[in-house]
Amino acid sequence: MLVSVLVGIFGISLLVIVHEAGHYFAARAFGMRVTRFSIGLGPVIVSHQPKGSDTTFQICAVPFLAYVMIAGMNPAEEVDPKDPGLFPNKSVLARIITIFGGPFANYLAASLMLFFMAMFAWRIAVTEPMEIATIEKGSPAELAGLKPGDIVVEGNGKAVKDVKELIAVTRDRGGKPTVYVVERAGKRLLPFTITPNQNGDRGVIGVTPVVKTEVTQLPIGEAAYKAIVLPYLFSIENLAGIWSLIERRTTEGVTGPVGMVKLVAQQGEKGILPFLDILIAISVALGLFNLLPFPALDGGRLMFLGYELITRRRPNERFEATVHAVGILFLLGVIALVTLRDVVG
């Protein structure tokens, strides 16, 4: 149990370190002075400042999360307009790229993990033959006498090899008696006449397939395609989920740090591939969440920088600092709420 929790903490912390590293490398690329790169929170256990570097790298007592400190970003700091190493003294484009660097790093990490998984250990769900795993109670399949373990080999006069072909032959048969041929224990039974129920826009008989997983290696082109497209599709799904939460005015389904650690720990117990699966999903979610146009998030900072880019005027620093402070308080409240729910649950 302890090992699983440590694995979960390591996984989440790794993704946050990647995020902060994105900010760090972008800032350094534009000559900004990064004073601190911290892994973890609380008292410092180990620290090191390389010779000739402005950055102190440190590991803290609570090795969870991470942060970087870029000179001039703190509203309380006094800004010397002649100091070229300060964040506010750089061009608006340099500041935009620096802020965007964190979410970009998370998307890049997710894409790289997907690419290498696709190249060396891509899992494919196989439902051939169309073996029945479960049957819905009271469904047409149950009423007709089908049983788990039966293999559907034909429907409506057409051969059925997998669940997609079963769906295809059943889709337009809602309310219409349809003949299905089934094998049981290696023997082909007499045909079953089943009338599928109409479920939305398609007919269903109420069965789920046995799903087997095969591990394969994809060609480099297909691996690259998945590495680019899948994070985009995950983001669309996440946005749909966020919009649903807003419409329902609820935080049900929102997971805090404790919940994420539990989730990563559970997947880590199942093996390296499920562990990478959840890291990819959380990395995309972390990148997307930080891009949301909300105060205190990277997306909130990008909104102010966008205003500056369009109007060629900097927003009032005190107003911007106040907006971000309110945003931080709100986010901390939400995090506390969902964390309490995760712990109690």
- The residues annotated as belonging to the active site are 20
- 274-307 in b/e burial notation, b at 16+ Cβ within 10 A? ebbbbbbbbbbbbbbbbbeebbbbbbbbbbbbee
Q: What are the φ and ψ backbone dihedral angles of 329, each rounded to 5 degrees?
A: -60, -40
Measured CA to CA in angstroms, residue 218 lies from 1, 162, 214, 280 at distances of 35, 22, 12, 18
d(C-alpha 100, C-alpha 224), whole Å: 23
C-alpha torsion angle, residues 235, 236, 238, 244 (rounded to 10): 160
Alpha helices in the chain (DSSP H): 2-29, 92-120, 140-144, 163-170, 220-248, 257-270, 272-291, 298-311, 317-344
Report the run of H or E that residue 188 belongs to, with start and end.
Answer: strand 187-188
- 3-class DSSP state for residue 34? strand
Contacts of 143 (CB under 8 A, 6+ apart): none
Report d(CA 307, CA 311) in Å as an integer.
6
CA distances from 169 to 134, 140, 152, 153, 286 (A): 19, 15, 11, 11, 41
Phi, psi at 303, each rounded to 5°: -60, -45
Distance CA 163, CA 207 (A): 10
Alpha helices per DSSP H over 30-139:
92-120
